Structures are given as C-alpha cells and as structure tokens.
Structure 1
C-alpha cells in the first residue's frame, strides 16, 4: 500500500496520510506502520472512517486489548472501547469519561501491567481548542545531567490511579466504587524504564498517577518528583496535537506522556479509545 509518513514536530509525532485502516493491512504495510510508531512515538492517521469493530481489529494488531476501571463508560457491545466524551445523555449524565487526561500521565501506569499504547479516534470535535499534548520521555531522560541519571536509574516509585487520589470533583467524573478501587491497588514501577522494543531508556513518572518516589525521605522524594515531571514537559520535548475530525491517534505509553486540554464551554468532544496491553516495566 502506498502512503506517506510526515513528521509533525522536532520533538515527536508523525502523520500517516493515504492509509485506510478500515481495510486489512498486509504484513509489509503493518511492519512499516509498526516501525514508524517506534520511531515517532505518536502516529496520527488522518481521515479514517472506522466502525467500532474495525477500530478494534486494527488495535489488536499490536497486542491484546484491555478494558478500563471506569467500566460504566465502555461502549455497549464493545468492551474494548472506552468512550471519552463530554456529551450529555438524555438523563443529563456524561456519555463517556468527560475529564479523561486532564493531568500529564501515561495511560494505565497505575496498573501492574501498564499499557503499550492507546488509540483514540475522533468522532466529534470542538471548532477550536480541546488539543492533546504529548511529550518525549526518551529525550527528557537523555537531557538530564549525568548525576541525576545516576541517582534515579535504580529508583522505584509508587503509582495509584489519580481518581483514587481525589484529583477530580464528582461533577468531573464519578467516584470509583469499592469494587473498582479494589481492582487498581497501588503498584511499584521503576522511575526510569527500558523500552522493551527499542531498548532506549525513558522517564516513567507522571503527575497524575505517581504517588511518590521510594527510598528517599518525603521532602527529597517530593522535590525530585516535581523536578523530573516539570523537566519532562519543557517545550522542546512536547508536540501539541490539534485534532481534525476522524483522526486516529496512536501513542506509545512506554515512552511518552500526554495531557488533554478541555474543550471550550458548550462544545462537544466525543471519542473512542482502545488500549493495548503492554508488559511489566523494567
């Protein structure tokens, strides 16, 4: 298949133009897409027209798919798809997880086996605003002073889903039930992880789900976590994605974070997300 891969920024990200993901990809085409994802960390597939089933089929080329702790927002009949939406139902409730991604984070970094990547499909977007920003955690790590790298290379951190830390009001998202909380207990992951495919090192802490860095006193741990997270989102590491209708964006949660800016008042942002299961960080 003939298609183009165009870099979107000097930090990370590329757009894929001329590829129809509703059709099965041959092995050569898939290999090129897979390599582009490893090279650019974020791929933007333009002008896709996908049914939920087609979205799932493409996503599964990269691995098994997971559900989400907010299971009330999974798409009926398609438990692999999370509805990310600020649209309201007839009852006045949100149609999906309206406040998803409002802090810098890596998807499912609070899980024992975090996500490989997420594929977010834009079904309805506001006329302006509602951008998503991505950062390059390889480059953030590589730009650290040697002394900082030496200090953090063997450290671990505790992770817990941001919702359990009461970051959100009940107007933004419903509180987790006892059963949902029990399904996402605190876990430990390395502060610096090695990407299982590229073998490059990347920072792996984030403001939303990292509770604390272990092995240091509280004040030092808090200061270090703030230093690392603020450093990692400096402009030279960040790509801002301005959504187009029917974009499918696929990012690598093993080596980048993202944050979603809220859409303007009285505008809708309605999307479907699949999440590919990853591996235990090391």
Structure 2
C-alpha cells in the first residue's frame, strides 16, 4: 500500500506495526472524489483502522463519510435493541456519552470499561464499518483500543489454526445486563447470532480471528470445557500488545474501523469527566469462514 498519492493528495503513517493508519491532508467536511474514496477504502481494508485528526464534522458530514463505506445502519435505534435510549436528533447517529441534562442521559454506553468486541456481531449481519467522532474528551482515560484480527490469526500456532478451521461460534449480547461480560444468563431481549470464529475478509481475502471476550459464548461442535478453554486462550492471545493499538482521543478526531478484521474496546475513565462521541455504523454483512 503506497503511503502517498498524487492522485488522491493524501498521505498516511502507520500508528502501530500491526494495525492502524493516520490519514493526513484530507478535509472530510467536503465531499471526496470517487478515486479518493477508493484509495481510502483500500488503505482501510489493509490497515483495519483509519484516524483523521482535527476534523470539523457536522452530523450530516459524518453520515456522508459513513456512506462511503456502506449504507448507514439504523439498527441501533431503541426500538430495535429493546432498551430505552434517548431520542437522537439525527437518524443514523448514535451518541455515546456520559453527559446528563436535567438528570437524563443524552446518550448511551456512557461510563466504564468496554471489553473487546466487534460491533453488531450478535446480529445475523454484522456491521462492516464503524465511525466514531470525538466531541468531548476526558482529560485522562477513555482510550479506544483496536486489536488486529489479521495479525492475531497469523501468529496462531498451526495446531490452533487447525482446531479453528471452519468452526462457527455463538455470539450473544444483552444490552440490559452488562456491557462487559459474557457471563450471564441471556434475558428475553438478548441478541444471538452465529458467525465464523475466523472470517474471510471479502476485500483482502485474508483470514482474521473474529471471536471476542465480550460476546462469544461458545465454539459450536466442541464440548463446553474444550470450548471455554480455547476461547480463554484466544481472548488472552488476541489482546497482546503486539496486536493492539491504543488511540488517545482529541476533540475533532474521527476513527473508522473495519469490524471484519479488528476488535475494539474502551478503557475506563473518571465518570465525573465529560465524554461525548458520535457513532455511525455501515454496511451490514453476512460473514463467511476462512477455510484452510
């Protein structure tokens, strides 16, 4: 992947050896030419996470950028997830915030740590792209962590790769119980989906480890003890520093990540500090297994 382009007039630098690139020289508040979008998508599929600093984006700007990566999703509205969330001013935009007005939250998933996961992996069609735009940032904490599914899979032993070949997994999540743990008895509003443990990325043709600590309940076809032991081994492995980039947010940052090839998590922060982000997702997609 080239780092500069006379055609697109942007440059990039890697943020971590395994994952992430910062894109320089683009103002996302104005529409991009099709050839620029094509180059960005190729870079994004290769590096899994793109970061754009110092952007001034309206909600409509963010939706336009989201549309470059696929049709903006609407499935995070409160009627779809079975939990009461504040009404959002702009359809397709979800506020992630701990701010309250008159004692009521203006957004969702406001405080605390979030374990590694892939957005909407508990739905039959998982989210292709997620975009997060920083409006207010705490003085410390609240970093978003990105773990490369590409790099983690490549580093697995041949024996572990063989165990995972063609294996499907259960992904379960209940908004009403906990945003961190997979240790719960799912309630009537829990979501459930089956996806490969290792997915074949449709753009790059590369395999990526897809299981995650937050929502992967079991590996189908294995006895419970074997499944649990292997999952715990995989969770610890894929979260090792050599696979993970921690993004230190600044107001005006936009991060775009590929849910098919990476996981993300959030570090804890002082709940007394304000943190407000705008999130969009795009391109619901059925995932196929990577077969050896």
Cα deviations across residues 105-128 of structure 1 (Å, max 9, x unaligned)?
011110100011100000000122
Other-structure match for 2:198: 192
Other-structure match for 1:37: 44
Q: Does 1:280 align with 2:292?
A: no
The equivalent position to 2:262 in structure 1, one of 222, 246, 256, is 256
SS in 1 for 2:91: strand
Go from structure 1 to structure 2 and tell me whether the alpha carbon gap of 1:123 and 1:130 turns closer, same or farther (over 3 Å shift). same
SS in 2 for 1:58: helix
> Shift of the alpha carbon at 1:76?
2.9
SS in 2 for 1:6: strand
Count of aligned pairs: 271
Contact 1:106 1:206 in 2 (8 A): yes
Other-structure match for 1:235: 241
Q: Does 1:14 align with 2:3?
A: no
Other-structure match for 1:172: none
> Shift of the alpha carbon at 1:92?
4.0
Go from structure 1 to structure 2 and tell me whether the alpha carbon gap of 1:33 and 1:73 turns closer, same or farther (over 3 Å shift). farther
Unpaired runs of at least 5, structure 1: 170-175
Cα distance in 2 between the residues matched to 1:63 and 1:168:
26
Alignment of 1:1-282 (within 5 A): 1-69=8-76, 71=78, 72-73=84-85, 76-93=88-105, 95-99=107-111, 102-163=114-175, 166-168=177-179, 181=189, 185-282=191-288
> Shift of the alpha carbon at 1:163?
2.8
RMSD: 2.1
Cα deviations across residues 143-168 of structure 1 (Å, max 9, x unaligned)?
1111111111111111112536x335
Contact 2:131 2:256 in 1 (8 A): yes
Contact 1:129 1:263 in 2 (8 A): yes
Unpaired runs of at least 5, structure 2: 1-7, 79-83, 181-185
- Structure 1 runs (4+) deviating above 6 angstroms are none
> Shift of the alpha carbon at 1:67?
2.5
TM-score (norm 1): 0.90
TM-score (norm 2): 0.87
Contact 2:98 2:105 in 1 (8 A): no
